[in-house]
Amino acid sequence: MTKTLCSRISNISRELALFAVASFAVGMAGSLVDSTFNNFLNESFSLTGFQRSFLEFPRELPGFIVVFVSALLWFLGSRKLGAVSLLLGGIGIFLVGFASKTYTVMVVFLFIFSLGQHLFMPVASTIGMELASNGKTGRRLGQLNSIRNLAAISGSALVFLGFKYFGFTFEHTFAIAALCFAVAGVLLAVMKPSITPAPKTFLKLRKEYKLFYVLASLFGSRKQIFITFAPWVIVTIFNKPAQTIATLIVIGGVIGILFQPILGKAIDHLGEKVVLAAEAVLFVFVCFGYGFSRSFFSESSAFLITCVCFLVDQALMSVSMARSTYIKKIAIQEADIQPALSASVTIDHFFSIGVALLGGIIWNRFGFQYVFLIGVAIAAANFFMAMKIRIPNYTDTTEMIEMPASAD
């Protein structure tokens, strides 16, 4: 088995190897930030629930404008654009850590960091699918997500050990994250340019992809529950320190290493409809756990249930790669894929911002539990939309979009 694994690794193409290492660096950087950012906000600025949710507007605004920025920078190609986006992210998070003298200044730097992150999102999926063998797109994306999960474990473990034993501050974690982003950006910059033809336009929404856009809007609404409100419950309702989120991310990363390849294969073999519908059903139970465990269980039991929900939720977030494989399968031409993915990020974030603001108002006025009832409604809508998925059955192989093959 070890010999087979070594043989497979030695046969990996140069481009896949570079992107795999870059993915690890990005995953570690994201973990360092995710493990500490909510506690950084709480300790540095003492935000209320509404103020925390309102912060999602400047943080998510770059996601809304990403299709326009991508259109301006289309000439760079996917890999150079990825490099630029990661360097932006590194600069932004470094400034958040070292130059945020006031809340307003911090918001400006957060915008820069977030712009880099959101520019990279569609590019990461595009490059991952470019490096997949035909018919194994889900498998390749699952493998890359497993690498990011391994990186998340490393980053969160570093946060846990650093804060517990080595006197880490938020500046330390943000500086290391910035370095990881910079390394990943350099690796993408030295990759060979993609052979995918340049799109004629980035800004056109095609009616053939309307279900894909609807699924993007629902994902944008759903993900806000995990990104903003779930950690905020752990930090403010249960009053847990930065090490708690870091520990959960480590555990979730271990689960993800095993789960991601299985998920990728499930997408390839069962199809996007089954996977996305199953995710919607599970998310209903997650939302009830987040919102109402304290109403029925003791404080310690409720916290344990919330942690389990966080881990399940973290794993379910990866189901979003089914949307990437879906657009690849229904795309009329290969050049449509990256613009469609960029457009989905913009649509996703339009709804994400709305849910963040609405959720903050509801949290502040009625209580955090009712934010998660919104999540239940989103899950129900997501289920019914997923059931509408139909994959074209091409009989003329000239109509099919094929990505260049690479070593597994």
Check if the beta carbon of residue 178 is closer than 8 Å to that of residue 98: no
Domain count, the chain: 1
Helices (H), 190-227: 210-224
CA–CA distance, 159 with 247 (Å, rounded to integer) = 9
More confident residue, 106 or 59: 106
Q: Whole domain around residue 258: which residue ranges?
A: 14-192+206-391
**Helices vs. strands in the chain: H and E counts, helices first:** 16, 0
pLDDT of residue 404: 42
Q: How many other CB atoms are found less than 10 A from the CB of residue 99?
A: 11
Tokens 């139909």 belong to residue = 390
Mean pLDDT of 158-185: 91
Q: What is the mean pLDDT of the chain?
A: 82
User: What is the enclosing helix (H) or strand (E) of 340?
Assistant: helix 337-366
pLDDT given for residue 203 in this prediction: 57
Average pLDDT value for residue range 157-163: 87
Distance (Å, rounded) from C-alpha 222 to C-alpha 377?
10
- Residue 95's pLDDT is 94
* Lowest mean pLDDT segment, chosen from 60-69, 155-164, 176-185, 390-399: 390-399
Is the pLDDT at 346 greater than 90, yes or no? no
How high is the pLDDT of residue 50? 65
* Cβ-proximal residues to 194 (8 Å cutoff; 6+ apart), any chain: 77, 78, 79, 126, 127, 130
pLDDT for the residue numbered 59: 79
pLDDT at 200: 55
Residue 99, φ and ψ in degrees, nearest 5: -130, 15
Please tell me the predicted confidence (pLDDT) of residue 403.
40
What backbone phi and psi angles, to 5 degrees, belong to 191? -70, 155
Distance CA 338, CA 323 (A): 13
The C-alpha atoms of residue 305 and residue 286 are separated, in whole angstroms, by 9
d(CA 176, CA 387): 43
Residues 352-371: what's their mean pLDDT? 83
Question: Is residue 345 domain-resident?
Answer: yes
Q: Is residue 300 part of a domain?
A: yes
Cβ atoms of 371 and 221 within 8 Å: the answer is no
Q: Could you write out the DSSP letters of every residue in 221-261?
A: HHHHIIIIIHHHIIIIIS---HHHHHHHHHHHHHHHHHHHH
> Does pLDDT of 92 surpass 90?
yes
Q: What is the mean pLDDT of residues 128-157?
A: 80
pLDDT the model gives residue 345: 78
Give tens-digit pLDDT for 191-234. Answer: 887 765 555 555 567 788 889 899 988 888 888 777 778 888 88
- pLDDT tens digits, 236-277: 888 887 678 778 877 887 888 888 888 888 888 888 899 999
Is 403 within the bounds of a domain? no
Evaluate if residue 381 carries a pLDDT over 80.
yes
Q: Which helix (H) or strand (E) holds 372?
A: helix 369-386
Domain with 134 in it: what CATH number? 1.20.1250.20
- 86 in a structural domain: yes
CB count in 10 Å sphere of residue 98: 14
pLDDT for res 180: 96
In this structure, the number of other CB atoms found within 10 A of the CB of residue 60 comes to 27
Per DSSP, the three-state class of 47 is: coil
Residue 101 dihedral angles phi and psi, to the nearest 5° = -70, -30
- For residue 7, being part of any structural domain is answered with no
Average pLDDT of span 170-191: 94
Which of these ranges, 163-167, 279-283, 351-355, has the smallest mean pLDDT?
A: 351-355
**Amino acid 398: pLDDT:** 37
CB-based burial, 284-319: b 16+ in 10 Å, e otherwise: bebbbbbbebbeeeeeeebbebbbebbbbbbbbbbb
* Residue in 315, 351, 84, 91 with CA at minimum distance from that of residue 214: 351
Q: How many CB atoms lie within 10 A of CB 10?
A: 8
Cα angle vertex 221, ends 365, 345, to 5°? 140
Residue 397 lies in a domain: no
Looking at the domain assignment, is residue 290 inside a domain?
yes
Q: Which residue has the higher pLDDT, 235 or 174?
A: 174
Tell me, yes or no, whether 334 lies in a domain: yes
* CA neighbor of 259 nearest in space, from 180, 152, 348, 154: 152
Over residues 15-42, the mean pLDDT reads 89
Q: What does the pLDDT look like over 111-128, one tens digit per residue?
A: 999 999 888 988 888 888
Q: What separation, in Å, do the N-terminal and C-terminal C-alpha atoms of the chain show? A: 15
